[in-house]
Amino acid sequence: MESYATAGQVWAAGLIFARIGALLMVIPGVGEQSVPPRVRLGFALLFALMLYPVLAPSMPPVPGTVGSLAAQVIKEILIGLVIGTVLRLFLASLATAGEVVSLQTTLSIAQTANPGQAQPTATLATFLGLLGLVLIMTTDLHHMFISAMVRSYALFPVIKPLPVADSAQLAIRTVGDSFALGIQLAAPVLVFSLVFNIATGLVGRIMPQFPVFFVASPIMVLLGLSIFALSLGAVGLVWVDRYRQLADIFV
């Protein structure tokens, strides 16, 4: 390698590749399970080569022992996984909203293969998950991912230890916020379901001979999906705004 690059240059590029590669393995879009690992590693190598001129001055020298070398590589991989996982965890808000809407409209039994997961999920949850990826790409949120890669070296310097407690706190807060946002996004259907169920319960109480189940089920599906469709634009706008706020933490 000395004919092409010095040991320090190879070491610096390797550290950059370790963090960027781990991040791209789990980040939304490129990190989907439907994307072949070789493609993701190819993207990571390309990004590492592009970012090397910018980040090389902040890279430490080659450590003197194998143990120190392995510890720094593992730390860089963990930092990349933390950033990518936090950005991916917020996608669970759309999956939560889809699951809630499916339960309220009695469509939870309808399962569809989710390209982002290893098992099928509710059709509406799969739809909202794909919608989230489309919104990320069409609103240029994925440009913030590249900025987060560079900014991460200011937030998590290579020469400093990994802030485990802060990273865990950020992950816990992201999970809680994503679940709360999922319930908020499904609120129109939840309110309709509550009112509709109370109304059908009163009808069944007043007229015991009335076939409430056979009449209420198709109306529930029709009106529930109609309300979901009408609120879909607002759902997308609110989710993109909240996701941009999350990405601003790393940018």
Residue 1 lies in a domain: no
Residue 45 lies in a domain: yes
Is residue 98 predicted with pLDDT exceeding 80? yes
pLDDT digits (tens, 9 = 90+) for 149-172: 888 888 888 888 888 888 888 888
As a whole number of angstroms, the distance between CA 55 and CA 51 comes to 6
Which pTM value belongs to this model? 0.82
Residue 147 lies in a domain: yes
pLDDT digits (tens, 9 = 90+) for 197-239: 888 888 888 887 777 777 788 888 888 889 998 998 889 899 9
Residue 2 lies in a domain: no
Residue 47 lies in a domain: yes
Is residue 1 predicted with pLDDT exceeding 60? no
Residue 137 lies in a domain: yes
As a whole number of angstroms, the distance between CA 58 and CA 209 comes to 77
Structure confidence at residue 3 (pLDDT):
66
Residue 199 lies in a domain: yes
As a whole number of angstroms, the distance between CA 21 and CA 19 comes to 6
Q: Mean pLDDT across the stretch 10-33? A: 85
CB 224 within 8 A of CB 121: no
Q: Give the burial class of 69: count Cβ atoms within 10 A of its Cβ; 0-12 exposed, 13-18 middle, 19 or more buried.
A: middle
- Cα 19 to Cα 22, 25, 86, 110, 184, distances in angstroms: 5, 10, 15, 39, 34
Q: Mean pLDDT across the stretch 189-199? A: 88
Structure confidence at residue 219 (pLDDT):
85
As a whole number of angstroms, the distance between CA 23 and CA 146 comes to 11
Q: Identify the domain containing residue 118 by its residue range.
A: 7-247
Structure confidence at residue 158 (pLDDT):
83
By percentage, how much of the chain surpasses pLDDT 70? 95
Q: How many domains does the chain have?
A: 1
Average pLDDT, the chain: 84
Residue 179 lies in a domain: yes
